[in-house]
């Protein structure tokens, strides 16, 4: 059984799931991108450097406007560390971040929407501010469990 799957869940929405490594061939799916495509990486469980290369190579010459939705933390790390991962015309619409409650230690993944819950654009280093989130269990303020300067770096790649 394949460790990954590439599935069209809507006419222009590609859902990528499983392990992204050297075995994933993105080209046939990307060839079906029209002028605009939506990519949902939320089902990705692991990605290695070969997988990162498979994706960045496949989309390097793709002129489509790619909108990323529900990006999980392991993909957000790529957006921020590897600017080519977004592609020439890519924008992140929504992504996940881990929050830990300061009062009850409850951990949860929160979906953040770029342009509403978090602003895009360049934040000066040291001044990136994670959007506030109230714990779903007790309502106390929760803290984003990532270094905001590193994790939110991608917001300045798509200003
Ligand atoms: Zn709490």
13 alpha carbon – ligand 1 mean position (Å): 35
111 CA from centroid of ligand 1 (Å)? 17
Is residue 8 located within the same domain as residue 59? yes
Quickly state the pLDDT bin for 61 (edges 50, 70, 90). confident
Number of domains in the chain: 2
Same domain, 45 and 68: yes
Give the strand pairing for 36-47 and 65-69: parallel
Percent pLDDT > 90 in the chain is: 81
Q: From ligand 1's centre to the CA of 64, what distance in Å?
A: 42
Kindly state whether residues 12 and 39 are assigned to the same domain: yes
**What's the CATH code of the domain at 39?**
3.30.750.24
Does this model's pTM top 0.85? My answer is yes
Q: Look at residues 133, 124, 132 and name the one whose alpha carbon lies nearest to residue 153.
A: 124
pLDDT recorded at residue 121? 66
The answer for residues whose C-beta is within 8 angstroms of residue 127's C-beta and 6 or more apart is none
Name the residues around ion ligand 1, CB cutoff 5 A.
101, 103-104, 106, 135, 137-138, 140
11 plus 71 within the same structural domain: yes
Q: Please give the distance, rounded to the nearest whole angstrom, from the Cα atom of residue 145 to the centre of ligand 1.
A: 14
Ligand 1 centroid to residue 100 C-alpha, Å: 8
Nearest-angstrom CA–CA distance, 124 and 133: 22
- pLDDT beyond 60 at 124: no
* Ligand 1 centroid to residue 109 C-alpha, Å: 13
104 and 88 part of one domain: no
Range of the domain at 119: 99-108+115-159
List the structure tokens of 131: 């959007």
> 12 and 87: one domain?
yes
Gap from CA of 99 to ligand 1 centroid (Å): 10
Confidence band for 113, pLDDT divided at 50, 70 and 90: very high
Pair 21, 67 in one domain: yes
């Amino acid at each position: 059984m394949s460790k990954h799957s590439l599935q069209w869940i809507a006419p222009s929405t590609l859902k990528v799931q499983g392990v992204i490594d050297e075995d994933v061939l993105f080209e046939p799916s990307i060839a079906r991108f029209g002028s605009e495509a939506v990519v949902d990486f939320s089902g990705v469980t692991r990605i290695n450097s070969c997988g990162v290369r498979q994706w960045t190579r496949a989309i390097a010459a793709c002129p489509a406007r790619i909108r990323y939705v529900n990006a999980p933390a392991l993909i957000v790390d790529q957006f921020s560390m590897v600017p080519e991962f977004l592609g020439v015309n890519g924008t992140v619409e929504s992504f996940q971040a881990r929050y830990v409650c300061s009062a009850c230690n409850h951990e949860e993944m929160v979906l953040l929407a770029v342009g509403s819950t978090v602003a895009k654009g360049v934040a000066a280093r040291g001044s990136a501010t994670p959007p506030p989130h109230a714990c779903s269990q007790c309502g106390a303020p929760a803290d984003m469990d990532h270094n905001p300067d590193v994790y939110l770096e991608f917001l300045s790649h798509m200003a």
